[in-house]
């Protein structure tokens, strides 16, 4: 059987290689094995993982609001895209821990706590991104885990980029706007689904 294009293993491998290339480039352009190199690697891999996350997080809303075409294809590949995000964000974690511990650079406790909670959801969602976990948890609990995790991770990204707006508005404002746009699309998609479910219920009762 032919493995589908951009299957989960391919997505994880591709995203990991890209993230590692970003890390290598960051160290090479910031003086080699230095704190500046590790910090740059952490920043750049965070931005890369953010793009993976937004793509995965918007897939269901886009397909529901505008079905067909590339939106439906993206929805079918959402699991792979989500795992690519998890892989990239894991490389980001390694770069961040390197900056903190190897180069003895402190960090705020709120960052540690918020990041820790975020990674709990990242790893929980990655581990359960398979059909066996859907059956084991049940569709309702599985959806609750992934929906909650998505909003938690989006909130952490939003908080992070909000803090960057004063120093770097060219980065912070577009990122925050993108998070807000996707959140709005998800709310609109949810409202459409509820409305259609209500219409279907009404038709069934009148039949």
CA distance 42 to 206: 58
pLDDT of residue 113: 84
Q: What is the pLDDT of residue 115?
A: 87
- What is the mean pLDDT of each successive set of 10 residues along the chain, which is 207 residues long? 74 97 97 95 97 97 96 96 98 94 80 88 97 96 97 96 93 96 96 81 62
Give whole-number Cα distances, 77 to 6, 54, 73, 84, in Å: 7, 14, 6, 11
Asked if residue 37 lies in contact with residue 30, where contact means CB atoms within 8 angstroms, the answer is yes
Compute the CA torsion angle 100, 119, 173, 65 (nearest 10 deg).
160
**CA–centroid distance for 66 within its chain:** 21
pLDDT for the residue 197: 76
Q: SS3 helix, strand, coil % of the chain, rounded to 5?
A: 85, 0, 15
pLDDT at res. 4:
62
Which of 32, 27, 163 is CA-nearest to residue 95?
A: 27
Residue 34, Ramachandran bin (φ over 0: left; ψ between -120 and 50: alpha; else beta): beta
Q: What is the dihedral of CA 156, 140, 82, 135, to 10 degrees?
A: 140
Query: Alpha-carbon distance 6 to 152, whole Å?
Result: 26
Integer CA distances (angstroms), 141 to 99, 125, 130, 168, 192, in order: 37, 12, 14, 39, 22
């Amino acid at each position: 059987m032919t493995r589908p294009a951009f299957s989960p293993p391919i997505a994880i491998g591709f995203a990991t290689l890209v993230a590692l290339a970003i890390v290598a480039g960051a160290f090479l352009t910031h003086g080699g094995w230095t704190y500046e190199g590790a910090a740059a690697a952490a920043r750049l891999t965070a931005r890369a993982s953010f793009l993976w996350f937004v793509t995965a997080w918007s897939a269901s809303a886009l397909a529901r609001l505008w079905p067909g075409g590339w939106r439906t294809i993206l929805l079918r590949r959402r699991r792979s895209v989500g795992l690519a995000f998890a892989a990239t964000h894991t490389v980001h974690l390694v770069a961040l821990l390197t900056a903190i511990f190897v180069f003895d650079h402190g960090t705020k406790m709120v960052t540690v706590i918020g990041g820790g909670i975020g990674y709990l959801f990242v790893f929980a969602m990655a581990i359960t991104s398979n059909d066996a976990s859907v059956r084991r948890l049940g569709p309702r609990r599985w959806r609750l885990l992934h929906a909650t995790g998505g909003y938690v991770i989006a909130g952490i990204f939003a908080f992070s980029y909000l803090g960057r707006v004063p120093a770097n508005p060219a980065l912070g404002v577009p990122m925050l706007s993108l998070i807000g746009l996707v959140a709005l699309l998800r709310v609109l998609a949810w409202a459409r689904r509820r409305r259609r479910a209500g219409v279907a219920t009404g038709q069934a009762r009148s039949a």
